[in-house]
Amino acid sequence: MKIHLRKRVGKISADKEKKGKKQMSSLYLSYSLKPGDKIRYEWLNLHIYETPKTNIEKDHNKETMILAESIRAKRIMDFQTTNHGFISSTKSKMSFLDYFKSIVDRKYNESLGNHGNWLTTYRHLQTFFNGNDYSLEQIDENILEQFKEYLFKNIKKKGKGKLHQNSTLSYFNKLRAALREAYLKKFIKENPAMRVKGIKELESQRQFVTLEEIIQLFKTPCENELLKKAFLFSALTGLRWSDVKQLSWNHFHYTEKEGWSIQYTQQKTKAAEVMPVSEQAIKILGERNTKANLDETIFKNLQYNSWMNKQLQNWVNAAGINKKITFHCARHSFATLQLSLDTDIYTVSKLLGHKNLKTTQIYAKVLDKKKIEAVARIPDFCF
């Protein structure tokens, strides 16, 4: 990789030129990681006089160019050390919070839901560090253990009680993931998280609605009809909120042989999926607005917030269902519904877009038909 030091001459108006305004050039680096790659730029926030006249201006230019060349040399050294298996001494000394925030910002473009979790972890780290600015190489197992203890003891959820253990697990795993990435990119010599015991995940009761309750919800009016339509569609397809939200009619395809399907990219995993869809789910969506563009999202006016959750719960209560339901429960409902209809767990896993079968097995524990059938076989001996 070649790194070039270049300059860009700044424009100056005629009026300012008359008043003695000096024309300056901005210095920047241009490079590409490998031949054929897109050229990248790094502005150095350094400026030189385009036509120096005084000794002061000439000395300024000379010192600035020396500084710019030293930055260029450091960038070359960073590339050579990481490319040949060595650790970058410059990057290992960067602020850990700055490094973590760069990951948080990147997650914003990948998944808003996941970004929120990373952002919350970043805020916890800020509070935990309490103004101390640790570098990447200073993060060790002792700091990791202290942060784990901090999450368990010092954090309160909305001012009431402690964080759920699975929440602490999620935040701690974000820190571990950041360190693993830094290690793989050769920013640090070793990954201290490998020597720290993780937090055990607690099995949580996954709430869902049954087929009978889905039918009851279909019959019950909701103050937000778009929310009703989205929830029922999710319950009949297993799509996450993020995937339902991005759906447009362009994602739907129909053939006489195979019926309806959705071709989309999962917002969470970025995996391309082809999902068969039942006629019932299509009917839930209703007639397509022929005046709207095919690429216009179907649920574009639906927002995920506390008010939407309240509307959802009011609708569930009005249907006579005594359960605490969130939008994600629709996905749980689809999984348990398929298992109750004797769909094999491998197929259910594929329908949900799970990468790991173990993730789907959680639903099998929620609805274990074998246990139910075993208990039902006990004869009636009461007189």
pLDDT tens digits, one per residue of 244-286: 988 998 999 989 888 999 988 887 777 788 889 999 999 998 8
Please classify residue 235 by burial: count the beta carbons closer than 10 Å to its beta carbon, then call 0-12 exposed, 13-18 middle and 19+ buried: buried
Check whether residue 237 and residue 320 sit in a common domain.
Answer: yes
383, part of any domain: no
206, part of any domain: no
Among 136, 169, 195, the domain-final residue is: 195
Confidence of residue 223 (pLDDT cuts 50, 70, 90): very high
200, part of any domain: no
State the average pLDDT over residues 218-243: 92
State the average pLDDT over residues 111-138: 85
Check whether residue 266 and residue 132 sit in a common domain.
Answer: no
State the average pLDDT over residues 289-314: 83
Check whether residue 360 and residue 250 sit in a common domain.
Answer: yes
pLDDT of residue 30: 87
Check whether residue 96 and residue 28 sit in a common domain.
Answer: no
pLDDT of residue 156: 55
CATH code assigned at 275: 1.10.443.10
pLDDT of residue 41: 82
Q: Does residue 235 carry a pLDDT above 80?
A: yes
State the average pLDDT over residues 318-340: 90
State the average pLDDT over residues 72-87: 64
pLDDT tens-digit series, residues 6-50: 988 876 555 555 556 678 899 998 877 667 777 878 888 899 998
In whole angstroms, give the CA distance from residue 261 to residue 252.
Answer: 6
Contact predicate 248/289, CB 8 Å: no
Average predicted confidence (pLDDT) for the chain: 82
pTM for this prediction = 0.57
pLDDT of residue 352: 86
**Residue closest to 331 by CA, chosen among 209, 226, 204, 235:** 235
Check whether residue 78 and residue 98 sit in a common domain.
Answer: no
The pairs formed by 127-132 with CB atoms below 8 angstroms and a separation of 24 or more are 129/97
**Residue closest to 188 by CA, chosen among 86, 102, 105:** 86
Q: Does residue 382 carry a pLDDT above 60?
A: no
Q: Does residue 90 carry a pLDDT above 70?
A: no
Check whether residue 159 and residue 236 sit in a common domain.
Answer: no
381, part of any domain: no
pLDDT of residue 367: 59
Check whether residue 51 and residue 98 sit in a common domain.
Answer: no
Q: How many domains does the chain have?
A: 3
Among 86, 108, 130, the domain-final residue is: 86
Partnered with residue 277 across adjacent β-strands are 260
Residue 343 backbone class (left: φ over 0; alpha: ψ -120 to 50; beta: rest): beta
> Domain of 149?
92-195
124, part of any domain: yes
Query: In 10 A of CB 271, how many CB atoms?
Result: 10
291, part of any domain: yes
pLDDT of residue 87: 47
Check whether residue 186 and residue 224 sit in a common domain.
Answer: no
380, part of any domain: no
Q: Does residue 110 carry a pLDDT above 70?
A: no
Check whether residue 365 and residue 280 sit in a common domain.
Answer: yes
SS3 annotation, the chain: CCEEEEEEECCCCHHHHHCCCCCEEEEEEEECCCCCCCCEEEEEEEEEECCCCCHHHHHHHHHHHHHHHHHHHHHHHHHHHHHCCCCCCCHHHCEHHHHHHHHHHHHHCCCHHHHHHHHHHHHHHHHHHCCCCCEHHHCCHHHHHHHHHHHHHCCEECCEEECCHHHHHHHHHHHHHHHHHHHHCCCCCCCHHHHCCCCCCCCCCCCCCCHHHHHHHHHCCCCCHHHHHHHHHHHHHCCCHHHHHCCEHHHEEEECCCEEEEEEECCCCCCEEEEEECHHHHHHHCCCCCCCCCCCECCCCCCCCHHHHHHHHHHHHHCCCCCCCCCCHHHHHHHHHHHHCCCCHHHHHHHHCCCCHHHHHHHHHHCCHHHHHHHHCCCCCCC
Among 195, 226, 241, the domain-final residue is: 195
Q: Does residue 112 carry a pLDDT above 90?
A: no
316, part of any domain: yes
Confidence of residue 217 (pLDDT cuts 50, 70, 90): very high
Q: Which residue has the higher pLDDT, 303 or 79?
A: 303
List, in order, residues 6 or more apart from 257 with CB less than 8 Å away. Answer: none
Check whether residue 190 and residue 220 sit in a common domain.
Answer: no
